[in-house]
Amino acid sequence: MAANTSQEYDSVIAVCKSLFIKKTKDYGTAWRILRPSSITDQIFIKAQRIRTLEEKKVSKVGEDITSEYIGIVNYCVIANMQLALSPEDPYELDVEKVEALFDTEVNHTKELMFAKNHDYGEAWREMRISSLTDLILMKILRVKQIEDNQGETLVSEGIQANYQDMLNYSVFALIKMGLK
């Protein structure tokens, strides 16, 4: 089971990374200008759109649920890269550095997924995709609250862990939807 999950995870990430690197070549690293709260809002917009599409089943702008989940994966990677980079780092990063940062963040997130899968027994495989969407929306609201509290928590995991969970939920949804 774990080997299959690892292969499926890597396959989904390869699709997300390919798009991310192509956009980096087109746009550079303009995302470096985004504040954490703006990244959270971008993820919220994508997750809310997925929920709307799940409920209404009609899209008036061509992009489908799959592309929105890919967007959430990539914005979560951006969020964690921004947390790893310092304000002194340049806005414009070369593609090789971005690729290395992308891989580092995804590897940390995949390790977290395997630790949680061990404890939860891959329960996500029995979940509805709509439940994964709702979990992402819940995590976004948690992140917004932590951001409003200037990053302070009393007993809860921090912002980075929430972004990692959202990334993993999105990968699970994409696996369940058959993205290869």
Q: Tell me, letter by letter, the H, E, C secondary structure of 71-131.
A: HHHHHHHHHHHHHHCCCCCCCCCCHHHHHHHHHHHHHHHHHHHHHHHHHHCCHHHHCCHHH
- Going from N- to C-terminal start, the domains of the chain cover 2-176
Task: Please compute the mean of the pLDDT values over residues 150-176 and round it to a whole number.
Answer: 93
- Residue 121: predicted pLDDT: 86
- Between CA 64 and CA 180 the distance in angstroms is 16
Confidence of residue 119 (pLDDT cuts 50, 70, 90): confident
How buried is 21 (Cβ within 10 angstroms: 0-12 exposed, 13-18 middle, 19+ buried)?
A: middle
Backbone angles phi, psi at 155, to 5 degrees: -135, 0
CB-based contacts of 136: which residues, under 8 Å, 6+ apart? 43, 47, 50, 72, 166, 169, 170
Task: Please compute the mean of the pLDDT values over residues 98-111 and round it to a whole number.
Answer: 97
Q: End-to-end alpha-carbon separation of the chain, Å?
A: 17
What is the Cα 117 distance to its own chain's centre?
17
Confidence of residue 1 (pLDDT cuts 50, 70, 90): very low
Task: Work out the number of other CB atoms within 10 angstroms of the CB of residue 37.
Answer: 12
Q: Look at 46-60, 88-102, 163-177 and tell me which has the smallest mean pLDDT.
A: 46-60
How buried is 54 (Cβ within 10 angstroms: 0-12 exposed, 13-18 middle, 19+ buried)?
A: middle
pLDDT tens across 79-103, in order? 999 999 998 999 999 999 999 999 9
Name the average pLDDT for the chain: 93
How much of the chain, in percent, has pLDDT values that exceed 90? Answer: 81
